[in-house]
Amino acid sequence: MIRRPVLTLVAGLAVFFLLFPIVVVVGIAVTAGTALAFPPEGLSLRWFADAAAYEPFREALVTSLLVAGLATALALAVGVPATYAIHRRSPRGRNLLQTLFLSPLIVPELVLSFALFQFFLVQAGIDTLSALVVGHAVLLLPYTVRVTGASLMAADPALEDAAAGLGAGPLTTFFRVTLPVIAPGVVAASILSLLTSFNNVPLSLMLTSRRVETLPVSMLSYVQTSFTPMVAAVSTLLLVLAVAVALVTERLVGFQKVFGKSGS
C-alpha cells in the first residue's frame, strides 16, 4: 500500500515528461502569433495553411514518401529471403550472416552515413535519390531481419514440412505457407521501416543535396533561417499521420497480431 502512491507518482511524472513536449509543439502550431512561443498567443490554423503552401516542404514530402516506400520495399525484398535462409536453411556461417545484416544497428549512424556518402556519391557517383533509397534500405535491413526473424521463429516448421511432403516446391511452400504465417511480422517490419526511414535525419542529411531533400532535412534547413511556428505545424501533422497509421493498422490487422506475434 505504501509503494502504490510512489509508483503512481513516478508513472504520472513519466507520462508528463513524455507528453509535455508534444503539448508544447501542438500549442505552438496553433498559435496566432508570429514567433515560437508557449503558451500560444491566441488560436489559429494559419501556420498549417502556410506549411501546406510552402513549396520546399511539399517537394520534400514527396521525396520522403518516395524514399521511404522504395527503401522499405528493397529492405523487405532482401531481408525476408535472407531471414528465411538464416533460420530455415541453416547455411554455413549463419551467425556471421546474421551479424552482417544486423551490423547497421551496431555502427554509429553518422559513421554509416559518411561511409555511404563516400561510396555512393563520391566513388560511385550515383544520383542523390538512388543513394537515399539504397542508404535507407541498408539502415532498415536490421529491422526487417529482426522482426521477420522473430515471427519466423514463432512459426511451426511442421507446416512447411507438410507442404513439401505433399509435393509443393520451395517457392510454392514459401509463398503459400510460410509467407501467410509470417505476414504479421512482415507488416510490423514494413510499418517500422516506413516510420524509421521517413523520420531519419543523420543519414538523410549526409546523402541529400539542394535539389533533393527529405522532409526532416528541409525542416532542419528551415529552422536555421526562420523562427516561425511553421515547423511546429508540420511536426503536428506528422504526429497526426503517425497516429493515423497506428489506428489503420489496429483496424486492419490488430496490434496483437502485428507486434505481439512478432515479438513472442
Same-domain check for residues 87 and 126: yes
28 found inside a domain: yes
What does pLDDT average to over the chain?
80
- C-beta neighbour count of 248 within 10 angstroms: 11
Domain that holds residue 12: 1-44
Q: Do residues 206 and 115 touch, judged by C-beta distance below 8 A?
A: no
Same-domain check for residues 132 and 253: yes
CA 191 to CA 87: how far, in whole Å? 22
Same-domain check for residues 77 and 7: no
CATH number for the domain that contains residue 193? 1.10.3720.10
Tens digits of per-residue pLDDT, 158-203?
Answer: 777 787 777 777 777 777 777 888 887 888 888 888 888 988 888 8
pLDDT value at 15 more than 90: no
Give pLDDT, residue 75: 92
Query: In the chain, what percentage of residues exceed pLDDT 70?
Result: 91
49 found inside a domain: no
Where is 123: in which H helix or E strand? Answer: none
Report the domain count for the chain: 2
Give pLDDT, residue 151: 79
Q: Do residues 199 and 110 touch, judged by C-beta distance below 8 A?
A: no
Q: Which of 51-65, 101-115, 219-233 has maximum average pLDDT?
A: 51-65
CA 254 to CA 108: how far, in whole Å? 33
50 found inside a domain: no
Same-domain check for residues 4 and 64: no
Residue 263's pLDDT band, with cuts at 50, 70 and 90, is: very low
